[in-house]
Amino acid sequence: MHDSKRFLHPEAIKRIARLDLRARHVVEGFLSGMHRSPYFGQSVEFLQHREYVMGDDLRHVDWKVWARQDRLYVKQFEEETNLRCTFLVDVSRSMEYGRGPLNKYEYACTAAASLAYLVLRQQDAAGCVSFDDKIRQRVPLRSKRNHLLAIAEALAVSEPQDKTDMFAILSGVAETYPRRGMMVLVSDLLTDQGLLLKGLKLLRQRGHDVLVLHIMDDDELDFPFAGPTRFEGLESPDFLNCNPRALRDGYLEAVQQFLDHIRRECAKNSVDYQLIRTSEPLDAALVTFISRRLGSMSRK
Amino acid sequence: MQFVYTALTWGFLLALVPLAIHLINMMRHHRVRWAAMDFLLASYKKHRKWIWLKQLLLLLMRMAAVALVVAMLAKLVSRNQWSALLGSKATHHFVLLDDSYSMSDRTGAATAFDAAGQVMARIAAEAGQSDFQHKFTLLRYSQALSNGSAGGNGQDKPADTLLDFNAETVDANFDVRLEEKRRGFEVTELSIGPTAALQLIRQFVTDATQDQNIVYVLSDFRAIDWEAPTAAKEALKQLQASGAEVRFVRCVRNAQANLGIEAIEPTGDTRAAGVPLFVNVTVRNHGDQAVRRVQVKLRTTFFDASQLNTAAPQANVGVSEDLPVVLIDEIPPGETATERVQVYFPAPGQHVVEATLPDDPIAADNHRFSVIDFPAGEPVLVIDGNAQQRNAFYLTSAFEPGARANTGIRPEVQSPDYLRDTTAAALQRFRTIYLLDVPQLDARGVKNLEAYVRGGGGLGIFLGPNVNYASYNSTLYRAGQGLLPAPLDREDELLADPIEHKPDIEAERHPIFAPLLDEQNPLIRLVNIERYVRVPASWQPAKDGTARVLARLRNLAPLAIEQAYGEGRVVLFTTTAAPDWNGWANDPTFVVLALKLQSYLARPPASDQARRVGTPIVVELETSRYRPEVKFLVPGPRAGNRIVIERATAPPTDATTFTVAVGQSPTSPTGIGETGRAGYYDAWPTTLEGQVTPRRLALNVEPREGHLALLEPSAITSKLAPAKIEFSHFDDDLGVTGDAGNNLSLPLLGLLVALLLGEQLLAYSASYHSLPQMVH
């Protein structure tokens, strides 16, 4: 049977060395497999009124409404630019794990580049930040088509190292990007959960749309190990000699609790969350992204 | 608790193998660089105690499984607690020791008998080291044989006196006592099978059913011992029915080639002092390859009756002379070769001929003895019915041709009345009796003759014109029940045959006519027979082979007829001895015929009979003539050494004879050992007047015992089926203490199975079983 997504499988993507080409390949393959093109409308028109709160810019107060109703409302307009999408890619050492065609780091980079290409293709602005315990690479937001190359280069030169300090990164990004936009966090989220959620909440408070692409390897989700094994931490000096079969149930239970917690907290903070296995085709990331875009439009 | 195979208890160290594997596996971890360590550590922290507990249990179960396997292999036994409450169950070792002479089979410096002794010592040592109670009973084959099966006087020894050990408790010093006893044991020269020992030990085993009985048969298990094992099979069956376990322990590794002297037999020629005598020496090759150039040494020992030293019996050793060595060119495997040698003794007496073979694995059958009685002459009674004693003249002329040619035959010519007036006992001194043309015999004479022949005497009958045929038929033939081989019909004439010129006599192949047959002596063709006595045409020799026609006339009428009668022989010639009816007496072949006839008819002396080692020597004496004391000279343990044994029997008042014996006394501690050596034995009865009348005879080993071919264990067990035999070799581990107490192998096996099942379940529970798509 003909598989329209055969070019999106990690095995196929692995064969393409350059990340920008890989992104084009993914997006073009993805779009050719869809029945209709997604709608990306853009508007500079009035969107809605919102009651004034302390701190709002007085320039946006609709004085005509004040004159009629003696209430202060501010006018809200569509952004002038279509979309400002920033990809936050985790390049910490934990992303190095993976026994499939692509490890988590490669998968995350590919997904981020593909999404950037998709954004740029629609004349929107895309930027990129790669980080571990601090920001390693930063690519400013641009809407030029050839900006993809810069993003791809920034991702490619980042090598996984050190631990993840998610709150520091996210709070830094929130400070760095005051204008609202879309923040796409691509990470395995193997960090302090409290700080992670705190960071996500901060981004949301700053008005960003936040999308979390949670990249996990099959091994991490299924734990298929057997036989005497020594597990050594990628980001910590911890190690454990054990019979993995004996710990499997407890491990999977802990992972499930972690995923449920993340999913629940993300939902609570209106953060879009998608768990993606590195063995899955890359269209899962694109679908999630497009869904998010459509969802945000419908909300508007 | 105790292990049968204690050497295997070292195997318990194998229980450490699972621990070692566990430790090695801990060092051989597969290494994985892992991101989600927090979840893994959380899981580990949560389940750590259970995991450790399961791993520890699993390790202990695996170590226990290995230990159980080792315990089963080492055969763990334990004393039954219930039986301990009622009194402990001892293990009783019944050892049957084969001491027949085939056990002297020597390989290197040790014999099979030595190996059997070592097996006994091992049994005693292992039993002595055991925690359980052990008893030991020992019976030698030779002792069992003296339990009446030797054909003695029926006075069996008390059975328990035959045992060397009788239910002796095995303690720490038992091996010392056994060793002291063993020093007195030696291989006998007997040929004994296991049957007597098995039958004797059966009653002891039956009496000891409260014990756990093991019967060990320490033997060489030669093929000849198991040719017809019906009685042994029955004894084994009964032994096992009483709950005893039977173990055969072979004490030789393989069969060796062996030569043995099978016989020294004087030829049937007349024997008398001063007359050379041929002796046949037969050697058998018991091996499976031909043997060449076998040297047989021969020695004669001459005993001069006039030099008898009655004061010192041991001093009468005779005068020995070595004869030239006889060389046998080749003896095929399994076959015999016979060589003839001539011996000569100048004076009458019972002289000894001894043959010796070179050394080989079995020494006992390399020597053989024969005592040959050389009388001063061979007394022969000649009864002639002719008034002029013409027949006797020609016959005695053949027996005594002249002073320079000594045949040893001493004929005594008597008239027919002699048989009527004498007694049967008086006739016994004659080796042969001849009836020559005797008209008839009265009833007393016939009775005397019949008693004589029945007792082993020889009778030759020549007919003639004086014979009363009707009287012969009624008194001597008696419808086939009498001495006469055939009935007599009438006198007849052998008509001349001028055309074919066939000889008058057609002789069969027979010792009497052997020298006259073929071309050896063509003169018999010239013998002329004119008249003869015809037997009825309807007469045929008896089908049982007791009567046989030895020679016929030209017209096929019988000329010489032989008949066996009792122990003796009768030969009838249907013509005259004197040249009345024939010209034979004038022919040189008549002398040959007369001497051969005499040799054939003469009764062999008693000492020629093949007596075996171990059989008793019984001397029968006349009460009115002999004293009750008899001295016996028997061979001693060293060559040439002789031992004097004095025996006396209270003469019965109501019998004319009494017997004195060695080798069968039920009270003698030596028992059959008195006649247990091959050699020549002397009995010295003393007359009431104080005169010693020595008698000598030889005892020899049973030559078949020298056949060393072994029977395969499978063949023995199949012959003895359904009796269950455990067969082993002397250097195998016998597992002496193996069945002391209760064998725990079966419960251990059950425990092992349960343990392995538990181990699998625990291993599954501890997630040590891989599932599909698992990554190792």
CATH of the domain at B180: 3.40.50.410
Quick one: pLDDT at residue A237? Answer: 85
| B703 and B714 part of one domain | no
Region of B690 (left: φ > 0; alpha: ψ -120 to 50; beta: rest) is left
> B43 to chain A nearest CA, in Å?
4
| CA nearest to A228 within chain B | B29
Say how many CA atoms lie within 13 Å of B11 toward its Cβ: 19
Residue with tokens 């410096």: B109
Interface with chain B: mutation pick from A132, A219, A247, highest number of B CBs within 10 Å: A247
Tell me the CATH number at B532.
Answer: 3.40.50.880
In this prediction, residues B369-392 reach a mean pLDDT of 88
- Pairs across A and B, CB distance < 8 A: 118
Tell me the CATH number at B697.
Answer: 2.60.40
All domains of chain A in start order, with CATH: 6-39+82-299 (3.40.50.410), 46-77 (no CATH)
Contact residues, chain B, for A253 at CB < 8 Å: 43
| CA nearest to B766 within chain A | A246
How far is Cα B313 from Cα B633, in angstroms, rounded to an integer?
7
Give this prediction's pTM. Answer: 0.57
| DSSP reduced 3-state for B181 | helix
Q: Domain boundary at B660, B686, B707, which? A: B707
How far is Cα A97 from Cα A115, in angstroms, rounded to an integer?
22
Contact call for residues B527 and B504 (beta carbons, < 8 A): yes
| B535 and B407 part of one domain | yes
Quick one: pLDDT at residue B774? Answer: 60
Statement: residue A16 has pLDDT above 60 = no
Contact residues, chain A, for B47 at CB < 8 Å: 246-247, 250
Residue among A220, A224, A250 minimizing CB distance to B775: A224
Q: Which class for B423: exposed (0-12), middle (13-18), buried (19 or more C-beta within 10 A)?
A: exposed
Instruction: Confirm whether B363 is domain-assigned.
Output: no
B39 to A251: CB separation less than 8 angstroms, yes or no: yes
> B8 to chain A nearest CA, in Å?
33
| B171 and B210 part of one domain | yes
Residue with tokens 């945000």: A296
Contact call for residues A199 and A171 (beta carbons, < 8 A): yes
Residue B669 CA from chain centroid, whole number: 23
pLDDT grade, residue B520 (50/70/90)? low
pLDDT grade, residue B727 (50/70/90)? confident
**pLDDT tens, residue by residue, A253-264:** 999 999 999 999
| B382 and B454 part of one domain | yes
> A108 to chain B nearest CA, in Å?
15
In this prediction, residues B468-486 reach a mean pLDDT of 91
Q: Are strands A46-51 and A73-77 parallel, antiparallel or unpaired?
A: antiparallel
How far is Cα A150 from Cα A220, in angstroms, rounded to an integer?
32
Q: Which of A271-285, B377-391, B438-452, B579-593 has the least mean pLDDT?
A: A271-285
In this prediction, residues B313-335 reach a mean pLDDT of 88
| B388 and B518 part of one domain | yes
| DSSP reduced 3-state for B634 | strand
Say how many CA atoms lie within 13 Å of A178 toward its Cβ: 0
Helices H, strands E: what count in chain A? 10, 10
| B464 and B525 part of one domain | yes
Statement: residue B504 has pLDDT above 80 = yes
Statement: residue B560 has pLDDT above 90 = yes
Question: Any idea how long chain A is?
Answer: 300
Residues of B at the A interface (Cβ-Cβ below 8 Å)? 25-26, 28-44, 46-47, 51, 54-55, 766-771, 773-776
A233 touches chain B (CB under 8 A): yes
Backbone phi, then psi, for A194, in 5-degree steps? -60, -45
**DSSP code of residue B700:** B
Q: CA nearest B291: which of B322, B258, B324, B313?
A: B258
A230 to B770: CB separation less than 8 angstroms, yes or no: no
How far is Cα B55 from Cα A243, in angstroms, rounded to an integer?
10
Quick one: pLDDT at residue B137? Answer: 92
Tokens, residue B140: 């030698």
A4 touches chain B (CB under 8 A): no
Q: Which of A101-115, B536-550, B659-673 has the least mean pLDDT?
A: B659-673
Quick one: pLDDT at residue B82? Answer: 45
Which positions 73-102 of A are in contact with B (Cβ < 8 Å)? 93-97
Statement: residue A274 has pLDDT above 90 = no
In this prediction, residues A263-290 reach a mean pLDDT of 83
Q: Could you tell me the CA-to-CA distances from B128 to A35, B133, B184 in Å, in that order?
A: 98, 9, 22
A227 touches chain B (CB under 8 A): yes
pLDDT grade, residue B292 (50/70/90)? very high
Statement: residue B281 has pLDDT above 90 = yes
In this prediction, residues B146-161 reach a mean pLDDT of 55
Residue B123 CA from chain centroid, whole number: 30
Instruction: Confirm whether B280 is domain-assigned.
Output: no
Quick one: pLDDT at residue A28? Answer: 64
Q: CA nearest A89: which of A188, A167, A218?
A: A188
pLDDT grade, residue B132 (50/70/90)? confident
Return mean pLDDT, chain B: 84
Which positions 200-219 of A are in contact with B (Cβ < 8 Å)? 217, 219
**DSSP code of residue B226:** G
**pLDDT tens, residue by residue, B661-720:** 888 654 444 455 788 888 899 999 999 888 888 888 899 998 888 888 888 888 888 888
Quick one: pLDDT at residue B81? Answer: 47
How far is Cα B591 from Cα B577, in angstroms, rounded to an integer?
11
pLDDT grade, residue B436 (50/70/90)? very high
| CA nearest to B763 within chain A | A246
Quick one: pLDDT at residue B652? Answer: 76
Q: Could you tell me the CA-to-CA distances from B109 to B104, B139, B357, B624, B665 in Å, in that order?
A: 11, 25, 20, 56, 36
| CA nearest to B770 within chain A | A226
Quick one: pLDDT at residue B674? Answer: 81
A96 to B33: CB separation less than 8 angstroms, yes or no: yes
Instruction: Confirm whether B368 is domain-assigned.
Output: no
Contact residues, chain A, for B51 at CB < 8 Å: 242-243, 246-247
> B67 to chain A nearest CA, in Å?
25
Q: Are strands B725-729 and B259-266 parallel, antiparallel or unpaired?
A: unpaired
Q: CA nearest A145: which of A166, A173, A124?
A: A124
Instruction: Confirm whether B213 is domain-assigned.
Output: yes
Strands annotated E in B98-237: 106-107, 110-111, 134-140, 165-169, 212-219
**DSSP codes, B324-342:** EEEEEEEE-TT-EEEEEEE
Quick one: pLDDT at residue B295? Answer: 93
Beta bridge partners of B77: B2, B743
pLDDT grade, residue A21 (50/70/90)? low
Instruction: Confirm whether B99 is domain-assigned.
Output: yes
Statement: residue A80 has pLDDT above 60 = no
A247 to B44: CB separation less than 8 angstroms, yes or no: yes
How far is Cα B248 from Cα B259, in angstroms, rounded to an integer?
27
Residue A258 CA from chain centroid, whole number: 18
Interface with chain B: mutation pick from A96, A251, A255, highest number of B CBs within 10 Å: A251
In this prediction, residues A266-275 reach a mean pLDDT of 88
Query: Number of folded domains in chain B?
Result: 4
B43 to A253: CB separation less than 8 angstroms, yes or no: yes
Q: Which class for B503: exposed (0-12), middle (13-18), buried (19 or more C-beta within 10 A)?
A: middle
A44 touches chain B (CB under 8 A): no
Quick one: pLDDT at residue B142? Answer: 85
Contact residues, chain B, for A228 at CB < 8 Å: 25-26, 28-30
| B506 and B470 part of one domain | yes
Statement: residue B470 has pLDDT above 50 = yes
Quick one: pLDDT at residue B666? Answer: 45
How far apart are the two ends of chain A, measured CA to CA in Å?
A: 40
DSSP H helical segments within chain A, as ranges? Answer: 10-14, 19-32, 63-69, 104-121, 147-157, 166-176, 193-205, 218-222, 244-268, 283-299
| B698 and B714 part of one domain | no
**pLDDT tens, residue by residue, B605-647:** 655 557 888 888 888 888 888 888 899 988 887 777 888 888 8
Statement: residue B282 has pLDDT above 90 = yes
A245 to B38: CB separation less than 8 angstroms, yes or no: no
**pLDDT tens, residue by residue, B83-130:** 443 345 678 899 999 999 999 988 878 899 999 998 998 888 888 877
Q: Domain boundary at B560, B577, B606, which? A: B606
In this prediction, residues B2-21 reach a mean pLDDT of 84
Statement: residue B241 has pLDDT above 80 = yes
Q: Domain boundary at B587, B606, B625, which? A: B606
| B98 and B156 part of one domain | yes
How far apart are the two ends of chain B, measured CA to CA in Å?
A: 45
Which positions 182-201 of A are in contact with B (Cβ < 8 Å)? 188, 190
A256 touches chain B (CB under 8 A): no
In this prediction, residues B222-245 reach a mean pLDDT of 86
Percent of chain A with pLDDT over 70: 77
A243 to B51: CB separation less than 8 angstroms, yes or no: yes
Statement: residue B739 has pLDDT above 70 = no
| B625 and B561 part of one domain | no
How far is Cα B684 from Cα B687, in angstroms, rounded to an integer?
10
Quick one: pLDDT at residue A216? Answer: 93
Quick one: pLDDT at residue B462? Answer: 94
- What's the domain range around B38? 2-79+745-765
| DSSP reduced 3-state for A161 | coil
| Cβ atoms < 10 Å from Cβ of B155 | 10
Percent of chain B with pLDDT over 70: 91
**DSSP code of residue B222:** B
A233 to B30: CB separation less than 8 angstroms, yes or no: no
Instruction: Confirm whether B101 is domain-assigned.
Output: yes
| B448 and B384 part of one domain | yes
Contact residues, chain B, for A190 at CB < 8 Å: 35-36, 38
Instruction: Confirm whether B362 is domain-assigned.
Output: no
| Cβ atoms < 10 Å from Cβ of B342 | 10
Q: Could you tell me the CA-to-CA distances from B702 to B140, B191, B371, B612 in Å, in that order?
A: 18, 6, 17, 6
Quick one: pLDDT at residue A19? Answer: 59
Backbone phi, then psi, for A101, in 5-degree steps? -60, -35
Instruction: Confirm whether B227 is domain-assigned.
Output: yes
Residue among A228, A232, A243 minimizing CB distance to B34: A232
A163 touches chain B (CB under 8 A): no
In this prediction, residues B416-443 reach a mean pLDDT of 89
Contact residues, chain B, for A224 at CB < 8 Å: 773-775
| B755 and B736 part of one domain | no
Residue among B37, B766, B774 minimizing CB distance to A231: B37
